[in-house]
Each structure stands twice: as structure tokens, then as C-alpha cells.
Homo-oligomer: A and B are copies of this chain.
Amino acid sequence: MQAEIITIGDEILIGQILDTNSKWIAEELNKIGISVYQITSIQDDSEHILKALKEAQSNATIVIITGGLGPTKDDITKHTLAEYFNSPLELNESIVEQIKQLFAKSNYPFSELNRQQALVPTKCTPLQNNYGTAPGMWFEEDEKIVISLPGVPNEMKGLMQEEVLPKIQKKYTLPFIIHQTVLTYGMGESVVAEKIEDWEDALPSYIKLAYLPAYGKLRLRLSAKGSNKQVLEKSLKDEISKLQTIIGSIIIGLHESETIESAVGELLIQNNCTVSTAESCTGGAIAKRLTAIAGASAYFVGSIISYSEKIKTQELNVSKDLIKRHSVVSAEVAEAMAVGIQKKYQTNYAISTTGNAGPTTDKTDKTVGVVFIAIATPTGVFSKEFFFGKPRQKVIERTSNKALEMLRKEIIENS
């Protein structure tokens, strides 16, 4: 079974925005056993849409279109689809109601333009959008499917997960593709590749392995494809067991949605422990990640973002003398910050960060990219020095990843 993806929008063709939708859709389709033949980005132009749609339908059974469904004039996808399927637009009252309900909850007024979003071609099955005003549209003709979705990523994703993927799976008998992600932290891609080389070479032909590295973490994705689900599941399970014996110490989790912060959260709950953070160079990035998880209030107590020296001394009880002697970017200050927040917020664990994220060296005497991370535990405190290079955003990201990795290790050792 093949699909094609068409993204509509001049903003992609002038290079203003990066098309992340196609990647996400391609990944989701592959997960349910549908391969993507081609991805095409085209202009907000009726003639171009018609041409691309015809071409895509000649190659693939399923065509997914994103973009061009907003309420403003540059959005012409819907009218073009009405023309393509020779199906006039009609006001759908139940969609009007959905949109009104959405607006009733927000502070924005419902306008005439919004009502027009409820106009859909008569031949289509509208798909309910729970995250925005533009409904998705599902067309079926001659055993082929065309699906039109809004381009706003969270609306597109919601519609795909709640409507499109289940409908496709219901309609077709697809081969089983099972993916198993192994999240690892703390070892580089080439080192991991060397360690697991023999295991990788011995994988059965129906299991493929991919390396997905990013800023201190590395995901390994195994994909098994075949007609017998039980065989695939058992085979994947066996391979993961073997992998555990080789690199078990760096494996954080085995779920696609697993993150280091969710793994830390689970460990804290299991051990009935709490955590706080005192962040300087990460400026709240670690707290943001810990609190992005639903239910974080069970273990996350709070943070102090001590961006200025004054907050470090006044609120975290780091002595001025210590800063003067060792510099604000030092192991000693990092450790004092971690102990400071741990005591003040009375948590079992605490993370602290201090470093120079750049681009200039500011008032510190440390090279851009130098970071100290400290972890306070129920039994003590320790810190490590790192060099995370540049640019600023990468330093912040790598520091957050490493800090959470260090914390996880400590919780395991102390439990």
C-alpha cells in the first residue's frame, strides 16, 4: 500500500518555514505499514493543486494533503477539492456548532469567516478537528482516498491520530510493522555502533535498525515487518533482551514517547522522592521539561532560576566569597547551588547548572560552552564539568539532557 503526501503553502516554497508535517505523517504511515512514494510541496494555487493531486493519485492509493484550509483568502485548497471531485460546497451545521463551541470557550469572537470554515464539499466525510476551526476532509472515489488536513501541526496531528489513522487501519488489511524504540543516553553513536556490531549483523532480515542521534541522546529504532504479529513481537522481544545484556546500562526506556524526563519522573514516583532545580545557564529549561509531563506535581516541587549573582547568594545561600574565589562558573558554586535549593525546598534530590552558554564570555572568566552540573542527593552532592561548544541553544539543550541523565543514575543508585 502506497501513499503520497502533498503540502500546500507558498511559505514552504520561499523557504520561510520548514515542512515538519510531512516527516511526521511519513513516520506515522510507515508505522502502520504504508510506505510513502513521494512528498510534494506546492503553491497555494488551484491549477498547481489539481495537477499535483492528479499525479499523486496515479501513483498511490492514499493521498494526504496538508495546508491551505485556514479562514483567509490565500487558502484555496477546499474550493479546489470541490472542483476536483465535482462536488459543490455546502454548509455543514454540525461543524458550525463545533466551531461555535470552540469559540465560546476562548475570548475570540465568532466571525463570518469562521462560519465559512463549515462549508465542505458534499461528497466528503468531514473529520472533526478538536484543536481548531478547519475540519479535515475524507474523499473516497474508485477505491482511492484523498484526505485534506489543516497545516497547523497540532491540528493536523490530532486529526491524524483521532480520525485518519484509525479509519485507514479499519479500511485496509495492512502488513504488521512493529517499531521498538530504545532510548539511550551518555554514549556516542559510533561507540554504540561498535559495541553492538555483532548483534546488529545477526538481526533477522525482517528487522531493520536505525540510529537517531541528538544532543547527547541516541535512539535506536528497530522495525519488524511481516504477516505474523506474534512472530514479530517475540522476535523483537528477544533482540531487545540481547541488546540489554550489551548496553543495558545506557538504556533509559523502550517506548517511542519515552523521554529522559518521563523516566526520571517514574523513578521519583516509584521511590516516593521529590526534586527541585536551581538553574543558571539553562534558565528554566530543565524545570520546563520536568513540568511538561502531566502529573509532575507529584514529585516536582519547584525551582529557582538564579540568573543574577544576587539571587545565587540571597536565595540559594551561595557565599559571595565562594563565587569570588572560584568564579560563578565553577564546581564549587554549582554544588552550593544544588545544596541550597535542596535544603530550601526540602526535596530529596536537586539539580543545579551554571555555565557560559555564549555567544560572549560575559562577566565570567570561562570559555563559552563550559558548564558545571551538580546533583544533590539524600547522601551528598557532586558535580561535573562539561564543554558543550556552541551555539547557545545547543549548550542549553545538552546541559539539560546531561543533568537529567546524571539525576537518573543517582536515583537508581540510591534506591
Contacts and interface: CB of A to CB of B under 8 A. Distances in A.
Interface of A: 10-20, 22-30, 35-43, 48, 52, 55, 70-74, 102, 105-109, 111, 113-114, 131, 152, 154, 179, 188-191, 193-194, 200, 208-214, 221, 223, 256, 277, 279, 282-288, 290-292, 294-297, 300-308, 310-311, 315, 344-345, 357-360, 362, 369, 386-394, 396
8 smallest beta-carbon distances between A and B, as pairs: A283-B291, A15-B27, A284-B284, A284-B287, A15-B26, A303-B305, A302-B311, A39-B41
B393 A223 contact: no
Contacts of A286: 284
Contact of A285 (B23, B111, B288, B394): B288
Contacts of A283: 284, 287-288, 290-292, 296, 300
B36 A42 contact: no
Contacts of A209: 74
Contact of A394 (B41, B131, B392): B131
Contacts of A107: 386-387
A22 B41 contact: yes
Q: Which label, helix, strand, loop or mixed, suits the secondary structure of the A interface? A: mixed
B211 A17 contact: no
27 contacts: A10-B208, A14-B27, A16-B179, A16-B221, A38-B41, A70-B213, A71-B190, A72-B193, A74-B211, A106-B386, A106-B388, A106-B389, A108-B188, A111-B191, A114-B190, A131-B389, A279-B284, A283-B296, A283-B300, A285-B288, A292-B396, A294-B392, A297-B308, A300-B308, A301-B311, A303-B305, A304-B305
B26 A38 contact: no
A105 to B, nearest CB: 5
Q: How many copies does the complex hold?
A: 2
Given A40-B40, A297-B362, A23 B27 contact: no
A307 B311 contact: no
B291 A307 contact: yes
A14 B308 CA distance: 46
Nearest to A116: B190
A139 B178 CA distance: 39
Contacts of A295: 360
Nearest to A388: B106
B38 A15 contact: no
A74 B210 contact: yes
Contact of A193 (B27, B73, B106): B73
A89 to B, nearest CB: 18
